[in-house]
Amino acid sequence: MKYAGWFSALIALFALVWQVNQASHKMEIELILKMAEKFDSEIMQKHRVKSSKSFLDGSAEENSSTDAILNFFEEIDYLLDKQSISTVAIWHYFSYWITGYYWATIDYRKEAGKSETDVFVFVGIERLYKKLLAIDKKNFNKARKTFKEHDLNDTNEFLKEEANLLGKPQRLRITKARFGGRAVVPTR
């Protein structure tokens, strides 16, 4: 009887920690789904199409659509920095696009960094890319080609897919690329 109070307090503390953990996990899932929904929204799809086409035709100088996409990834980076979402969740939901836009926008981001007063403009996508690369190296080291083996053909294929995406369910994309194949978009 002497320890019953302590035992009850310990169980209550354990239950509280468990509930806080569950609530945090639920909030992370809701937040990542909201971000995925935003990324798949009609306006973002239009930005992604316009940006991809501009890279494919070589006219991707200053482009508000590319800025919108990179700003989206800046938001994701901010949420990761504030520990609102995890690197693993980002990897599952956005690694394909972060990789594609990271490579497609290298020169664009360099130019933006030169002309902006903020030399750290669009650095979020680079931080995200490096964190996702670390996950890939850890989990899939020899099971597939790594991000470092990404080449111009991969970038062009990515841009072509993005240029033709309007109305397609992009969030449902299954990336076979992680296992040595190409990315596939399920049909409706």
Nearest CA to 136 among 164, 186, 102?
Answer: 102
Residue type, 137: K
> Which pLDDT score, from 0 to 100, does residue 147 have?
47
Nearest-5° Cα angle at 59, 108 to 42? 80
Q: Lowest mean pLDDT: which of 46-60, 124-138, 174-188? A: 174-188
Q: Is residue 76 pLDDT above 60, yes or no?
A: yes
Q: In the chain, what are the domain boundaries?
A: 28-184
Q: Minimum mean pLDDT among 23-37, 113-127, 164-178: which range?
A: 164-178
DSSP 185: P
Which residues contact residue 76 at a Cβ distance below 8 angstroms, ignoring those fewer than 6 apart? 35, 85, 90, 94, 98, 124, 128
Interval 111-122: pLDDT, tens:
887 765 666 678
Greater pLDDT, 177 or 93: 93
Amino acid 144: pLDDT = 54
Assign 180 a pLDDT band (cuts: 50, 70, 90): very low
Of 133, 145, 150, the closest CA to residue 176 belongs to 145
> pLDDT value at position 175?
41
Q: pTM for this one? A: 0.74
Say how many CA atoms lie within 13 Å of 16 toward its Cβ.
6
Q: How many residues does the chain have?
A: 188
**What is the arithmetic mean of pLDDT over 175-182?**
38
Name the more confident of 59 and 158.
158
Residues 6+ apart with CB under 8 A from 68: 44, 47, 51
48-64 tens-digit pLDDT: 999 999 999 887 677 88
Residue 24 tokens read as: 């945090």
pLDDT of residue 136: 77
Does 91 score more than 70 pLDDT? yes
pLDDT of residue 18: 72
Q: What does each C-alpha distance from 176 to 5, 98, 120, 146, 186 come to in angstroms?
A: 54, 16, 33, 13, 12
Structure confidence at residue 183 as a pLDDT band (50, 70, 90): very low
Whether 10 has a pLDDT exceeding 90, the answer reads: no
Question: d(Cα 1, Cα 159) in Å, to the nearest integer?
Answer: 69
d(CA 72, CA 6): 49
